Amino acid sequence: MSEMQPPRRIGRSIGALLAGFFLVVILSLGTDVGLRAAGIFPPLVRPMSDALLLLATAYRTVYAVAGSYITAQLAPNRPMQHALVGGSVGLALSIVGTVVTWNQGIGPHWYPLALVATAMPCAWVGGKLRLMQLPATRP
């Protein structure tokens, strides 16, 4: 027998997931724009080198951990589960992006695969960082 969450908690859960998601999107796009404006990244119409894609992978990994941490911090309960749900959404979006762009010739295949491969580990790390801040509970 399962208990239904009160509507307020469901709303807070959705809010926590959205906050983490928007943090990742805003930071990622903001960094992309900033690096383009600084002349580090090429214009959108030109492909990026492996080194620049590695840089993008690195900061997106950090941002994904931060987004999962925020999701876990804002979660009304079960912070790790919330972080992993957010990671699952990121994983699904990464898979869709990989499939859609696979044969488009817009870059090497390793980059979207790296985003797929890092989605869940980043979510776990973000959730774990939040759990480490919580007081230990006794069984």
Query: Does any domain span residue 90?
Result: yes
Query: Does any domain span residue 123?
Result: yes
Statement: residue 137 has pLDDT above 50: yes
Query: Does any domain span residue 55?
Result: yes
Query: Does any domain span residue 1?
Result: no
What is the pLDDT at residue 3? 55
Which range marks the domain in which residue 118 is found?
12-132
What is the pLDDT at residue 119? 97
Query: Does any domain span residue 2?
Result: no
Q: How many residues does the chain have?
A: 139
Both structure tokens of 46: 């030109």
List, for residues 73-103, the tens digit of each pLDDT value. 999 999 999 999 999 999 999 999 999 999 9
Query: Does any domain span residue 27?
Result: yes
* Residue in the block written with tokens 């994904």: 64
Which of 56-65, 113-122, 129-138 comes out lowest in average pLDDT?
A: 129-138
Query: Does any domain span residue 5?
Result: no
List, for residues 5-31, the tens digit of each pLDDT value. 566 788 999 999 999 999 999 999 999
Q: What is the mean pLDDT of the chain?
A: 92
42: DSSP letter:
P
Contact by Cβ (8 Å): 88, 120:
yes
What percentage of the chain exceeds 70 in pLDDT? 93
How many domains does the chain divide into?
1
Statement: residue 2 has pLDDT above 60: no
| 3-class secondary structure, 22 | helix
Residue 51 CB neighbour total at 10 angstroms: 8
pLDDT band at 117 (very low <50, low <70, confident <90, very high): very high
Statement: residue 4 has pLDDT above 70: no
What is the pLDDT at residue 1? 40
Query: Does any domain span residue 126?
Result: yes
| 3-class secondary structure, 137 | coil
